[in-house]
Every structure is written in C-alpha cells, then in structure tokens.
Amino acid sequence: METSTRQETQTDVHDDPKARALMQKAFEKTARWPTGFGGFQADLCINIDGQETKGTVTVKGPKEVTVTLSNPELENWTQNQLAMIAVHRGPRSFQESDGKYSLTLDADDNHPLGPRLSIHGDGMGSSYRIKDERITQINRKMAHVAFTINVEESTLTEDQKNLTTRYTVYYFSPKDGSLQNVESLTDTHVRVASADLPATRRIISYENGQVVTKTLLFENHKAL
C-alpha cells in the first residue's frame, strides 16, 4: 500500500465527543515507536516467488529511509514499504493525527467490526471501524485510488499496546468502485530496547495476471 499525505480541508461538521473519546482511546492503545526513537538499521533479504535479493536498510522516519540492495530495481519498492511502516509506527500525538479533524459516529453499532467513525476535513473522506479499543477497518479515497484495510489479527506488546500482525488491503477504482487489487500482509516483530521493529513481512498480491508472494526478512537490527 502506498503512502499518502492527508491534507486538512474546511468542514462545517461538528465534532461528536463520543466519537472523539472512542478514537482517542483506540489511538492510545495502538503500538508506536517510543518518543525520541532515532530509527534502526538492519540486514534485509527479499524473496519474490523464490528469487532472493539481499541488502541493508536504514530507517529514521517516513522521509528518511535508505535502502541498498543487490537488485537496484527493488530499492524504490522496498523504500515505500519501509516508509509506510514508519508512517504507521512513528511516534506522534493524537492531536497531530486524527485528533485534529472533526469526528462523528454512524448508527451501525451491530456491525461485526464495530461502529463506523467518520473523519471530516482530511481530504480523503476517511472512516474507521473500532471495536474493543482497536481500529479494525480503515477506509480512504483519493483521486487515483480508494482502499479499505481490514485488520484481521493483532498482538499485545510488552507495553500492552495493540500491534497489527495481519491485515488485508482492498484497492478500488474511485470512479466506479470496481475492485482493482487485493494485498494480504502478515507481519512479525522483534523487540529492540523499547521498540518493536519489523522482523518479517509477507505480502500476497495479484500482479500482471498472477498471484505473487513476497517476503521481507529483517535481521541484525541496530537501534540508532
């Protein structure tokens, strides 16, 4: 899944205190790297349908990712993967994230993934579903793509925070809603000092008429 920048837009929708409390609780229960975390370095081995490529990575933030691989064509793809991880896991406050938008709740409390919470003013028509203090679904729509992320499994960290371990991304055409692609992602993590860092990532997707399986194996982590 590609990274995108959310832009604040004007909205007349009034904030719902119940929605804000629900979102803030889920936000605070989500695992992130600790404040002051300087990033990490690691060795990396990528396997795409049996073809291996090895190299190293340095991650300091979403815009500070360095990837060196024996196959240069894979470097940009890998950089995007790590930037996405850094965006989701990087330290930030609630007010710096979803808290700066107007939040409302829809009346569908019986949905198996929890009630729908709408984000107003982020320029992407975003909405979440939240259940048991955990974000279970994310929806966003942009000019060139719309997507739904269903969070299927998560684990509790040593800090008792929810850390996603398996999710599926459904990509749709923003024009007619037709399904364009599906990615199934499974992650494992390793604890280094006070941060849970990526250990493995498996991505199963449909590309150029076939199902493709990619794995990323991170080893020899070093906190920066």
Domain ranges for the chain, please list them: 17-31+59-223
| pTM assigned to the model | 0.89
CA–CA separation, 178 vs 174, rounded Å?
8
3-state secondary structure 5-28: CCCCCCCCCCCCHHHHHHHHHHHH
Tokens of 161: 């925070």
Is the pLDDT at 10 greater than 70? The verdict is: no
Percent of the chain beyond pLDDT 70?
95
Predicted pLDDT of residue 73: 84
Predicted pLDDT of residue 224: 92
pLDDT band at 90 (very low <50, low <70, confident <90, very high): very high
CA–CA separation, 137 vs 152, rounded Å?
9
Is the pLDDT at 128 greater than 60? The verdict is: yes
Predicted pLDDT of residue 7: 57
Percent of the chain beyond pLDDT 90?
83
Is the pLDDT at 1 greater than 70? The verdict is: no
As a whole number, mean pLDDT of residues 92-109 equals 90
Three-point CA angle 187, 198, 217, nearest 5°: 80
CA–CA separation, 31 vs 120, rounded Å?
24
pLDDT digits (tens, 9 = 90+) for 56-79: 999 998 899 999 998 888 999 999
Sheet holding 127-131, edge to edge: 64-69, 51-61, 40-48, 210-223, 195-207, 179-192, 162-172, 146-156, 134-141, 127-131, 116-120, 102-105
pLDDT digits (tens, 9 = 90+) for 29-52: 999 999 999 999 999 999 999 999
Is the pLDDT at 8 greater than 70? The verdict is: no
Contact predicate 224/39, CB 8 Å: yes
Is the pLDDT at 130 greater than 70? The verdict is: yes
